[in-house]
Each structure stands twice: as structure tokens, then as C-alpha cells.
Structure 1
Amino acid sequence: MAILPIRIWGDPVLHAPADRVDSITDDVRALVADMYETMDAAPGVGLAAPQVGVGLRIYTYTYEDDEGRPWRGEIINPELLMTPLVPGSPDEDEESEGCLSFPGERFPLRRSDRVVVTGTDIEGAPVQIDVEGWRARIMQHEFDHLDGVMYVDRISDGDWKTAQKIAKKRRWGVPGVSWTPGVDDLEG
């Protein structure tokens, strides 16, 4: 297993729809193992294959359920069903999120409160996840990555302008920029 470099906003793989996984091969298994290691080292609650430069429809996740039990998993070729989005502006304290591919920043973003995700795991077994709240936000965020959408693509115009200034200052927004957890200092 290895900690992989995480691509930063502007890399083409982050802005293109990912391809379906045709079969679960040893290469796919190794990728998923590396994604877990990278996600944990970052640390993050989710990581999509495009974030590590691989344009495949795979993501890993980790969270605690309401009883404090840890849940970890991977979803290959996920499908996402969500309840309708509640109209209105996001609550900055309750509805903000960040991204390992736009590191060190958080912006408010309204997401659906409940989702159902289906797909398969690394063994090819069917997976169905029905979650609400924070866990639903994780699933939507990672699923977006598979469609070439980053959360900063969904934020308000004012926050988008701020994100653009941050990206310009940090020299993001171009192909080939990445950071490696445990190696790179991301402080400005």
C-alpha cells in the first residue's frame, strides 16, 4: 500500500466524468487499498479515485454512525438517489464542507439531507447505503467527484470569487498540481 498524491483543483482528471469499472482486478484492489491509506493519512472522510489521478468510478468513505460505531467502505460504480434539496441559503455553521482537492478551505453549501447510494464493494458484492445529515453530505461530495464536479463548483457566486482568489494565490487551477499527505506542507 502507498499514500498517493492528491490532485488539486484545476487538474483535468478532477473536472471530467470518471469511467465505469468494468471488472474488479488486482489493480483495482491495489488502488482501493492505496485510497484508504491516502484518505486516512490526509486525514479525510472520503476520497474519490479521480482525486488520486485515476478516472474510475470508485470512492472510499469513513464515518461514525449515530451510536459511535465506525463505518468504512468503498463503492464501485455508485448510483445516487437523494431527497429533494431544501431551498434556501446554507447555514455557514452547519452546512459547510471542505475538500482534499481544495485543501485547507471550507465553504457553505446546501446539500440534500438524505441519500441512498447503491453499487458494489471490492469483492463485487452489492452495497446499499441509506444515510442522512453529515453522512449524506459525504456521499454526495464523493459522488460529485465521479461526475467531474467539485464542491467549489456548487458554492455561491461570492464564495466562488473567494475560491478563485485563493486558487490564484496558491497557483492552483492548472494541470499537475498535487499534494501528498505526510509529505507536503499546505500552509499557504
Structure 2
Amino acid sequence: MIYLASQSPRRRQLLDQIGVAHQLLLPGEDEDAEALEAERPGEPPEAYVRRVTLAKLQAALQRLERRALPAAPVLAADTTVALEARILGKPRDASDARDMLAALSGRAHRVLTAVALGGVPGRDAALALSVSTVRFAPLPAQAIERYVDGGEPFGKAGGYAIQGAIAAWVERVEGSHSGIVGLPLFETAGLLRQAGLLPP
């Protein structure tokens, strides 16, 4: 069993898909989880997603100790959408979501998901990074409006979920589909195997 330091139901489903037993280890009301995702000026997307993922892992390990829960490895992840050097985080409101989707329309962008595993006896924390490319067809203004009105962009990096309705406008994907969804299974399984938590 591992702890998953993520509120994402999609990450839970992906761990279930590869047969990894897990329990949630979520922030309490006394923690400002969103503050961990604050951007630093000029920080490249790759550095950002690595830093945020390791910060989430460290916060979760401290949470585990503070709550005196049974010891077990902890998995943390973060997904970032990057349009060239620009980081597109979670939209603040409907206007921000519309702006993000308009910026992504008819263009290719990168989806970076880092996953980190810690709390394994005798091992340092380990991190893996998955980078994929997604290209949207040109998005008509009406399609953007419908998508935003449906509420799907909120709480998602880049303002979209590839497993949702926006998939009808995805022209091309290169890389890891599960990584774009939020947890790259190849990299995750690799970390778990290296730690002896999955059979070879």
C-alpha cells in the first residue's frame, strides 16, 4: 500500500488501473496546498513542475508524520501545461479559462507531469518526468464558450481535461496519454518497481 498525496480522482483511477493499492493523504484545513503551486518569475516549466512535485511530496511526508499514520511510501504528482515558455496553471475564473483555451487553439503545447516517490526505507526520494505534446485544432469561440460553461476547465492545468469533451478538438498527441491525464503510468510503475513496490 502507498499513500497518494493528490485530490485528483483521475490519479486514483490510474493507480487502480495498474493494481496499486493506495490511500489518500490529503492536506488539512491548516495547510495552504495551493501556495505550493505558486510560480517564480522566469522559472522554466520543467524546473517548475519538478520543484512543485517535490514540495508536494515533502508536505505529504510531514503530514504523514504529524498525523502519526502507519508508515508507507508516499506518491505525489503535478501536471503543468506549457505554451512555449509560458506556464498555464489552473484558470482563476471563466474569463481566464477562455483566454487559455484561445491561446491553445490551433497550436501545439506541452504537458509536463512529474511524479515523485518518497518515504521508502533506505531510499532517497525519486522523481520522474513525462513530457508530451498535444495539438488542438482551431477552437471556435462557440466551442470554447460551451466548454467553459460546462465547468470542466476549472481545477485543471491549462483549463482542460483531455479525457473530457475537449477531446473532440485534439488533433494530435505525442507522448504519454496517462501523463496528460495526470499520472504517467510508465514512469510511475518504474519508480514503484525500483522501490520494490511492484513486481518486475
Bigger proportion of residues as strand: 1
TM-score (norm 1): 0.31
TM-score norm. by structure 2 comes to: 0.30
Bigger fraction of residues in helix:
2
Question: Larger Rg: 1 or 2?
Answer: 2
Which structure has the higher relative contact order (CA within 8 Å, separation 6+)?
Answer: 1
